[in-house]
């Protein structure tokens, strides 16, 4: 019975985390453009894992993340690579920050560049995974990598990604629940992407359901050897 209670506490701690851990490599403020080397390294690592996870979801051909549905659709229509399409869409989203009076950080800029470069560079070399693994497994594994990358990226504390910043900015400026704003934006981009030929499928649903727990797991794993305070989301 004690073991059962311990397990419940362990899993509730993992999945109910409400703050981002502060580590020795976290930036003290998100508007720092010249962070410590280790902070920049973990920022790069988190964004690379994010891009790798997105890439695996693409090659699974089982459905991709909401914004990648749109990127795929745009790439198919104008005959460009999905990495370049992702980069262009992120830049356009960044323009919408202006009326919201949001300021990008180093992490925001690196988010645009590293994820797009990673996807553009490695997707052509990952299609062999379809011959080895089940598409559903690839969907879960890709979601796990995106979640772990997101957790590392959040802990670096160098500014939000363009899409997350847009969601939180609209929520703050118009006093609307962020869950409603996120659903509205992602439903819109999925619908537009699907109309343009992007891949909506089971993998998209798997991502929507499990990305939150995967991010929480990533954040909690960082707490194993950390005693510093945490900051709210």
The Cα 57–Cα 18 span in angstroms is 27
Task: Name the residue with higher pLDDT: 31 or 73.
Answer: 73
For residue 227, pLDDT beyond 50: no
For 168-193, what is each residue's pLDDT tens digit? 889 888 888 877 888 899 899 999 99
- The predicted pLDDT at position 79 comes to 93
For residue 229, pLDDT beyond 80: no
The Cα 135–Cα 101 span in angstroms is 41
Q: Measured at the alpha carbon of residue 115, what is the angle toward residues 55 and 230, in degrees to the nearest 5?
A: 110
- The predicted pLDDT at position 213 comes to 87
- The predicted pLDDT at position 11 comes to 55
- State both tokens at 169: 């900015």
Q: Which of 208, 108, 209, 188 is nearest to 154 (CA)?
A: 108
- The predicted pLDDT at position 18 comes to 60
For 96-143, what is each residue's pLDDT tens digit? 999 988 889 999 999 999 999 999 999 999 999 999 999 999 999 999
- The predicted pLDDT at position 36 comes to 93
Mean pLDDT over each residue of the chain, to the nearest integer: 87
Q: Which of 220, 96, 64 is nearest to 154 (CA)?
A: 220
The Cα 93–Cα 166 span in angstroms is 7
- The predicted pLDDT at position 183 comes to 87
For 17-61, what is each residue's pLDDT tens digit? 666 788 888 998 888 888 999 999 999 999 999 999 999 999 999
Confidence of residue 4 (pLDDT cuts 50, 70, 90): very low
- The predicted pLDDT at position 231 comes to 52
The Cα 89–Cα 67 span in angstroms is 9
For residue 14, pLDDT beyond 80: no
Tokens 């798997």 label which residue? 206
- State both tokens at 148: 């772990």
For residue 83, pLDDT beyond 90: yes
What residue spans define the domains of the chain?
Answer: 39-232
- Which string of DSSP letters, residue by residue, matches the chain? -HHHHHHHHHHHHHHT--EEE--TTS-SSTT-SS--HHHHHHHHHHHHHHHHHHHHHHHHTS---HHHHHHHHHHHHHT--HHHHHHHHHHHHHHTHHHHT----HHHHHHHHHHHHHHHHHGGG-TTHHHHS-HHHHHHHHHHHHHHHHHHHHHH-S---HHHHHHHHHHHHHT--HHHHHHHHHHHHHHHHHHTT---SHHHHHHHHHHHHHHHHHHHHTTTT--S-EEE-
Count Cα atoms within 13 angstroms, Cβ side, for 8. 5
Average pLDDT over residues 58-86: 94
pTM for the full predicted model: 0.87
- The predicted pLDDT at position 233 comes to 47
């Amino acid at each position: 019975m004690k073991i059962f209670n311990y397990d419940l506490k362990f899993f509730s701690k993992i999945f109910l985390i409400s703050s981002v851990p502060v580590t020795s490599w976290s930036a003290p403020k998100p508007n720092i453009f010249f962070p410590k080397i280790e902070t920049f390294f973990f920022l790069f690592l988190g964004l690379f894992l994010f891009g790798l996870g997105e890439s695996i979801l693409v090659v699974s051909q089982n459905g991709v993340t909401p914004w990648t549905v749109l990127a795929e659709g745009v790439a198919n229509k104008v005959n460009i690579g999905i990495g370049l399409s992702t980069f262009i869409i992120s830049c356009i989203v960044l323009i919408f920050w202006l009326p919201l009076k949001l300021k990008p950080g180093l992490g925001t800029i690196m988010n645009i560049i590293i994820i797009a470069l990673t996807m553009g560079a490695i997707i052509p070399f990952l299609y062999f995974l379809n011959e080895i693994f089940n598409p559903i497994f690839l969907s879960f594994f890709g979601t796990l990598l995106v979640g772990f990358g997101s957790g590392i990226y959040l802990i670096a504390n160098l500014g939000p990604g363009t899409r997350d910043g847009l969601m939180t900015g609209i929520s703050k400026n118009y006093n609307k629940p962020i869950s409603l704003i996120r659903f509205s934006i992602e439903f819109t981009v999925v619908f537009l992407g699907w109309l343009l030929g992007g891949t909506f499928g089971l993998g998209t649903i798997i991502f929507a359901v499990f990305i939150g727990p995967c991010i929480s797991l990533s954040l909690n794993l960082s707490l194993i050897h950390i005693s510093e305070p945490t900051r709210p989301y």
